[in-house]
Amino acid sequence: MQTITILGATGSIGCNTLDVIARHPDRYRVFAITANTQAQALIQQAQKFAPRYAVLTDANAYEEAKTLAVQANLDTEILYGTEALNAVASDQAVDAVMAAIVGAAGLLPTMAAVRAGKRVLLANKEALVMTGELFINAAKHHNAQIIPIDSEHNAIFQALPHDYVYGETHQKGIAKLLLTGSGGPFLRTPLEDFANLTPDQACAHPNWDMGRKISVDSATMMNKGLEFIEARWLFGVEADDIEVVLHPQSTIHSMVQYIDGSVIAQLGQPDMRTPIAYGLAYPERIDAGVSHLDFSQLADFTFTKPCMKRYPNLALAIAACKAGQAATTQLNAANEIAVEAFLAEQIRFTDIAKVNEQALNQLEPITVSSIQQVLEIDKSARVVAKQIIQAQMNG
């Protein structure tokens, strides 16, 4: 029996995780679930999974959840705040933590799980992008096992040699990690229409059903850029060892190319329950509720190179990855602010990359040696990005 905490339980990844867990009540017990504002959804989950704790980080939602819990006669204890997140992520009773909070807000609880030496099922890519080597070193130091849940990295994890040692790419005969991406909803949209694209259009992904932030990132391909940085750290490879390949069907979830010419790919439905189930059961395999691929029904498989004029955010992320840790922390922070402003209809779709680029140009490339410093860099990058957006809205 494995005891699991789910950070960000009410989100797209969180709900999919609970869906897989519900299929295996003999294998998994839920210790804690967390949400930001969605009190009602969290309480419904608590009624179904009877966790010991349910945590809310929004004060109003916490009050609402307490009332609902009394009405429902729940045994689950309702907790409030970021300290409580850290506590349920690191509690002695917990075996594995699903890190599925979106954005920088997930960093500290994810780090708490890492420092407590948990199995960390990492969906929250921003946490790793922000901290890179610090995160990886903490995992090594505290003996935490990081299993990538992001479908591309989960695919690569599955396609790497079983005895792969962190960073030993060339010794193991690996030529390249091939990171696939669908190109998002605007793969074929004329470039001259980009300025007028709306949040709802950006969030309508052709293959994946995801939260709004990652959906916008997929439309700008900042998501692939963050994943590029994520791959660099997860597998200990250089930027030159990673190549982005557009594959609009999203059936191949990523590949490893070897020096003898072999390519090993992981394929499946575009359904996050597959990597989630893999992470939960590793090294075993369990039913994920996902239908099997029917090769007689699969249409064309196509592949192209991404056009950087269409996806300037991807180019920015690859450049930041090569520039170093401060740049990736700054880019991630600026992007969170820019995406928020786009979703609030304060800036245009094409402004997201402009804000990110201007913020990177204005910020200093300092060396980063602690999580505290990461938080400070993140904070100043947010201030700069907000100023740029304000200036743009005024002008």
141 is in an annotated binding site: no
Q: Which of 20, 35, 219, 368 binds ligand NAD (CB under 6 A)?
A: 35
- Per-residue b/e over 211-230, b at no fewer than 16 CB within 10 Å? bbbbbbbbbbbbbbbbbbbb
Nearer to ligand NAD, 174 or 276 (CB): 276
As beta bridge partners, residue 148 has 122
Interatomic CA distance for residues 319 and 327, integer angstroms = 9
CB of 8 to ligand NAD, least distance (A): 3
Residue 241 neighbours by CB under 8 Å, 6+ apart: 169, 174, 175, 176, 177
Asked whether residue 211 is marked as a ligand-binding residue, the answer is yes
Asked if 150 touches Mg ion (CB under 5 A), the answer is: yes
Q: Could you tell me which stretch among 33-41, 158-166, 179-187, 371-379 binds ligand NAD (CB under 6 A)? A: 33-41
Q: Which is nearer to ligand NAD, 100 or 231 (CB)?
A: 100
In the complex with Mg ion, the residue whose CB is nearer, 118 or 125, is 125
Q: Does 124 bind ligand NAD (CB under 6 A)?
A: yes
Total of chain residues touching Mg ion, rule CB under 5 A: 3
Q: Does 38 bind ligand NAD (CB under 6 A)?
A: yes
Q: Where does this chain touch Mg ion (CB under 5 A) — which range of 105-113, 149-157, 261-269, 327-335?
A: 149-157
| Residue corresponding to tokens 């990132």 | 217
Please state, in angstroms and rounded to a whole number, the distance separating the CA atoms of residues 323 and 10.
35
Q: Does 123 bind ligand NAD (CB under 6 A)?
A: yes
> According to CB under 6 A, which one of 111, 130, 135, 150 is a site residue for ligand NAD?
150
Min dist CB 227 to Mg ion, Å, is 5
Neighbouring-strand partners of residue 4: 30, 96
Numbers of helices and strands, H then E, in the chain: 16, 11
Choice between 22 and 391, CB closer to ligand NAD: 22
The length of the chain, given as a count of residues: 395
> CB of 230: closest distance to ligand NAD in angstroms?
9
CB atoms within 10 A of CB 293: 12
Task: List phi, psi (to 5°) of 393.
Answer: -70, -35
What is the spatial distance between Cα 151 and Cα 123, in angstroms, rounded to a whole number?
9
Which position among 36, 145, 346, 387 is part of the footprint of ligand NAD (CB under 6 A)?
36
Q: Taking a C-beta distance cutoff of 8 angstroms, is the pair 55, 79 a contact?
A: yes
| Strand positions, DSSP E, 321-386 | none
CB 389 within 8 A of CB 359: no
Distance, in Å, from the CA atom of 315 to the CA atom of 225, rounded to the nearest integer, reads 7
Of 154-162, 210-218, 291-299, 328-336, the segment contacting ligand NAD by CB under 6 A is 210-218
The alpha-carbon radius of gyration of the chain (Å, integer) is 20
| Interaction of residue 126 with ligand NAD, rule CB under 6 A | yes
Binding-site residue ranges for 1-deoxy-D-xylulose 5-phosphate: 125, 151-152, 182, 205, 218, 223-224, 227
Q: Where does this chain bind Mg ion (CB under 5 A)?
A: 150-152
Q: Where does this chain bind ligand NAD (CB under 6 A)?
A: 8-14, 35-36, 38, 57, 100-102, 105, 123-126, 150, 208, 210-211, 213-214, 272
Binding-site residue ranges for NADPH: 10-13, 124, 126, 211
